[in-house]
Structure 1
Amino acid sequence: MRLGPYELPNRLFVAPMAGVTDRPFRQLCRRLGAGHAVSEMITSVPGLWHTAKTRRRADHSGEPGPVAVQIAGTEPRQMADAARHNIDHGAQIIDINMGCPARKVCNRWAGSALMRDESLALAIIDAVVAACAPKGVPVTLKMRTGWNDAERNAVSLARAADAAGVAMIAVHGRTREQGYRGHAEYDTVAAVKAAVRVPVVANGDIDTPWRAREVLQRTGVDALMIGRAAQGRPWIFREIAQFLDSGTVPPPPATHDVARWLLEHLDDHHALYGPEAGVRSARKHIGWALCGLPGGASLRARLNALDDARAQRAALSDYFEHLADAHILLPLPACPPDVDHHGGSSRAATASGPAVRGCDLHAAHARPAPAYGVSAP
């Protein structure tokens, strides 16, 4: 897929999420199959650009290009200045945030609140596009379907953004009023795709390979953006990529691979945030990865009591060694009956020996396991 001057490796993107998609998380997702990742939102207020929080969010060291930075704000000139500032610090794509539903953001008329004032939204888009054009930097837009059911105006705003020179539009299939409640709807996303010339990206509830296929078929969009489903399961990108390519879902990653990825992620966290803040910041990422695993809850409780980076790393490493010694396999995602796992065969062997049919595999992989620290029988 092409975005401005850049040829992206695939059409599976990491959704920008404040407090989640920091540089270590983006790098991990890119290594595991994501074709594009957008930063956490960075404020357009100049007085905050030099805070530790904003400096970390603007640190793209070692990040594969193109580097996409999301900016948030409510004043056109400030947003234009923020675009120029971030380009000077390594941004190759600027993304405008009109999708964040957080109250503290919307109360300042930023994020998805901008969808309630299309004239202001368009003024911001015009200002940012004008600031980026001399440097050849594409501008993208992230938004929702509208403010609420009565103000579902994504199509009209998308048309205006397209005419103003935005290079790509991502739409989360919920209104701001919904937040993350209920289910994403894709009819509005499909209508946006039909209304504009630029690439459109669908976002919201894309949490399995078959849902990804369904959304692509239903909406005709050019790409998919995955957020919460990648928390704790960043390999979802390669699962979806293989399924879209071949109709099969790969086996779950080996325990030792997951351990290596998480430990590398942990090291990156400690390096970016420092040993103290890094320990705190990494807790949620580790917690997501442990969700549903045997003994995961007890390990999370233990890790939440640790303040030392080395101890945190050692505890996580020890846990995965126990899983490997006990021959515990990670569970497969549940799937519909027409989907096969393991590269095409509807039967496959598990570590426990017997072959099982297609989607019964996840049950075999999720067999009862001992609590953390207890050997398997």
Structure 2
Amino acid sequence: MSTALAPHPGLTLGPLHVDTPVVLAPMAGVTNAAYRRLCAEQGAGLYVCEMITSRGIVERDDHTLRMLVFDEAETTRSVQLYGTDPTYVGKAAEILCAEYGVAHVDLNFGCPVPKVTRKGGGGALPWKRGLLGEILDAAVAACAPYDVPVTMKTRLGIDADHLTYRDAGRIAQESGCAAIALHGRTVEQAYAGEADWAPIGELVADLDIPVLGNGDVWEADDALRMVEQTGAAGVVVGRGCLGRPWLFADLAAAFAGAPRPALPTLGEVADMMRRHAELLGAIMGETRGCVELRKHVSWYLKGFPAGGDLRRALATVEDLAGLDALLARLDRSAPYPVSELGSPRGRQGSPRRRVALPEGWLEDADGSGTGVSEDAAEASGG
């Protein structure tokens, strides 16, 4: 049963206003320019580029710069930066504003990937309160002349014994961040179990800047519940939209207090897959675009009646003609599998047995993180 809500006033981040208070979470290998446009065609929101390393931007690393591609229809360019060095983060933020016309910079302090946390980055970094403040100060100062808002995303902490979100929120506000997004899991949990929304509400009570909630927003009603329960200014949507770009149409309607669109038939999902392939082809060529589409096939078809042979063929598609022939074999009238609504999508896995951290990382929470290293391209994309 759908939750009712009066029209939402939208999300304001400094000079930037978003009609629908929804942010597409950066996802490695997913939220490229094609997918961002596909989602934006469904409904209003803020659509963020894949995570980019600050050092990669400053050193003009080819791999990193290839990821900084924007669709011609993107009116609001948003980029998430990864960095552990305040100098590199500040310089990268300035480059994004001055050379790429970026209108919003988000800083990633929530990534749970071991190759990131073992160097003190991502979700490990907020443990070093001094370093966190230095990085945020550098980013905000670099973006200020361009009137570009800076936000940050983080998690509850490293694990249940090393929570960081309340300090992170305070530091973000003191540094002049326009908002903070909180994922209701620790680094140790990664994507396992259920997200805890209660700390999101605690952060809302603590701060004057907007707080965005993240974690387990699988349907539009989840987003409404999160906002109602926590007082969050908006939501960040990640895995819930995998294979379901139309979720943003649901979210736009839900926050506008309007009737929800009908669930798509398999035929409409097939049309979405075709559109996705076209957009991918426009930025990377037809063959490469079809190869990129392969990873999305299982997400698009989850729960639908499509035989194993057809699914396997779609997962090896090489060109648009082949894609068209395979999509034509689907039963376009098949209804959306309602049993899939509200169920987790994408990676889940198990909690980490041990969070990978630099040696001695937990010994000093007020330190500057001396010795933290950042490679130019290693973490671009997450």
TM-score, normalised via structure 2 length: 0.81
Residue 72 (structure 1) aligned with residue 82 (structure 2): yes
Deviations 1:219-266 (A, max 9, x none): 000101111010011111222333444486432124443333221111
The 2-side partners of 1:280 and 1:106 are apart by: 30
Matching residue within 189, 207, 228 for 1:217: 228
1:199 maps to 2:210 = yes
| Amino acid in structure 1 at the alignment position of 2:231 | G
The residue type paired with residue 251 of structure 2 is I
Q: Secondary structure at the match of 2:283?
A: helix
Counterparts in 2 of 1:219-368, with a 5 A limit? 219-246=230-257, 249-295=260-306, 297-306=308-317, 308-319=318-329, 322-324=330-332, 327-332=333-338
The CA RMSD measured in Å over matched residues stands at: 2.1
More deviation, 179-188/14-23:
14-23
Gaps of 5+ in 1: 337-377
- Note if 1:121 corresponds to 2:121: no
**CA distance in 1 between partners of 2:160 and 2:144 (Å):** 35
- Alpha-carbon distance in structure 2 between the residues aligned to 1:217 and 1:333: 25
Aligned pairs (5 A) from 1:34-45: 34-45=44-55
1:83 alignment partner in structure 2 = 93
Instruction: Report the Cα offset of residue 54 of structure 1.
Output: 2.0
Q: Is it true that 1:149 corresponds to 2:160 in the alignment?
A: yes
The structural deviation recorded for 1:41 is: 0.5
Distance in 2, matches of 1:114 and 1:26, equals: 28
Task: Mark the CA change 1:330 to 1:85 in structure 2 (over 3 Å): closer, same or farther.
Answer: same
Letter paired with 1:54: T
Larger Rg: 1
Please say if 1:33 is aligned against 2:43: yes
Structure 2 runs not aligned, ≥5 long: 1-10, 343-382
Q: Which secondary structure state, in structure 1, belongs to the residue aligned with residue 50 of structure 2?
A: strand
- Aligned in 2, Cα 1:334/1:41: closer, same or farther, shift over 3 Å? closer
Give distance in 1, aligned partners of 2:182 and 2:232: 10
Return the letter of the residue paired with 1:323: D
| Contact 1:94–1:139 (8 Å) recurs in 2 | yes
| Counterparts of 2:220 and 2:214, CA distance in 1 | 14
**Residue 14 of structure 2 corresponds to residue 4 of structure 1:** yes
The question of whether the paired residues in 1 share the 8 Å contact of 2:77 and 2:103 is answered with yes
Does the CA contact (< 8 Å) of 1:290 and 1:296 recur in 2? no
Q: Distance in 2 between matches of 1:313 and 1:52?
A: 31
Q: Which of the pair has the greater relative contact order for Cα pairs under 8 Å at 6+ separation?
A: 2
Give the equivalent residue in structure 2 for 1:183: 194
Residue 57 (structure 1) aligned to one of 57, 67, 77: 67
Contact 1:252 1:331 in 2 (8 A): no
| Cross-structure match for 1:22 | 32
| 3-state secondary structure, aligned to 1:7 | strand
Go from structure 1 to structure 2 and tell me whether the alpha carbon gap of 1:184 and 1:144 turns closer, same or farther (over 3 Å shift).
same
Q: Partners in 1 of 2:235 and 2:35 — Cα distance?
A: 18
Deviation larger for 65-74 or 234-243: 234-243
Distance 1:138 1:328 in 2: 44
Q: Name whichever of 20-29 and 51-60 sits farther off.
A: 51-60
Rounded Cα–Cα distance in structure 2 between residues aligned with 1:108 and 1:312: 44
| Distance in 2 separating the partners of 1:5 and 1:16 | 22
1-structure distance, mates of 2:37, 2:57: 28
Letter in 1 for 2:338: L
1:79 partner letter: V
Could you tell me how far 1:52 is from its partner in structure 2?
4.8
TM-score norm. by structure 1 comes to: 0.82
Using the TM superposition, give the Cα deviation of residue 280 of structure 1 relative to its aligned residue in structure 2, in angstroms.
Answer: 2.4
Q: Which has the higher helix share?
A: 1
For residues 82 and 297 of structure 1, what CA distance do their matches in structure 2 show?
A: 46
Distance in 1 separating the partners of 2:230 and 2:307: 37
Q: Distance in 2 between matches of 1:335 and 1:258?
A: 15
Q: Percent of aligned positions with the same letter in both sequences? A: 34
**Residue deviations 1:32-53, cap 9 Å, x none?**
1241111110111247864553
Partner of 1:163: 174
Change (3 A) 1:159 1:74: same
The separation in 1 between residues aligned to 2:100 and 2:57, in whole angstroms, is 16
Query: Is the 1:73–1:79 Cα contact (8 Å) retained in structure 2?
Result: yes
* Distance in 1 between residues matched to 2:170 and 2:84, nearest whole Å: 20
Rate the CA distance shift 1:247–1:27 in 2: closer, same or farther, 3 A: closer
Task: Report deviation, 1:23.
Answer: 1.1
